[in-house]
């Protein structure tokens, strides 16, 4: 992946809580946004928008797990807003993201995985990323996506099955 153009504050002992929050989760959120967006060139703009929203809300967290789920929710909403604005065809390659939770190294399998990834809806890609890549449980993914837990389970089952069938058919 190319150099990260989002300017993070330099680490020092006087960093604000917000700066520490961003620094702690930035790379994970960047990977999440990159996998959801059609135009990877928009990742920085979307993250900047998410960080501004995060800063303005000034939340207090009971735990790091809650903080991470909340941040994913903000980034997810910003990505969905961007996708709606762009209304472009899906061209996000799975590349280094996942093949059911593992990196795809073989070029042919990567091409097949890219095609299968593009065939998934944005919401199915999001649930795969949250559960299989980011490691959230169904309940946390449901809160992030603001859908019932059962919807997460059914979308995840559908998306996994679709990817698996495409990979087996190839």
Considering the chain, what percentage of its residues have pLDDT values greater than 70? 71
- Can you tell me the distance from the alpha carbon of 149 to that of 157, in angstroms, rounded to the nearest whole number? 12
Domain that holds residue 71: 9-88
Q: What pLDDT is attached to residue 154?
A: 94
| pLDDT level of residue 156 (50, 70, 90 thresholds) | very high
Q: Higher confidence at residue 1 or residue 14? A: 14
Q: Which two tokens stand for residue 106?
A: 């073989």
| pLDDT level of residue 152 (50, 70, 90 thresholds) | very high
Q: What pLDDT is attached to residue 157?
A: 92
Tell me what the mean pLDDT of segment 135-159 comes to.
91
Residues 40 and 105 in one domain: no
- Can you tell me the distance from the alpha carbon of 170 to that of 157, in angstroms, rounded to the nearest whole number? 20
> CATH number of the domain that 107 lies in?
1.10.10.10
Question: Is the CB of residue 117 less than 8 Å from the CB of residue 94?
Answer: yes
């Amino acid at each position: 992946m190319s150099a990260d153009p989002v300017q993070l504050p330099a680490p020092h002992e006087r960093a604000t809580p917000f700066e520490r929050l961003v620094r702690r989760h930035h790379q994970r959120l960047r990977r999440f946004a990159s996998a959801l967006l059609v135009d990877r060139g928009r990742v920085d703009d979307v993250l900047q928008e998410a960080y501004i929203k995060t800063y303005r809300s000034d939340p207090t967290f009971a735990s790091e797990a809650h903080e991470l789920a909340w941040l994913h929710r903000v980034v997810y909403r910003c990505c969905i807003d961007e996708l709606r604005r762009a209304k472009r065809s899906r061209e996000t390659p799975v590349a280094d993201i996942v093949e059911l939770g593992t990196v795809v190294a073989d070029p042919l399998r990567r091409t097949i995985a890219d095609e299968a990834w593009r065939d998934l809806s944005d919401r199915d890609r999001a649930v795969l990323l949250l559960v299989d890549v980011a490691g959230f449980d169904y309940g946390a993914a449901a809160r992030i996506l603001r859908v019932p837990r059962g919807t997460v389970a059914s979308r995840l089952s559908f998306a996994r099955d679709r990817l698996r069938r495409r990979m087996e058919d190839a």
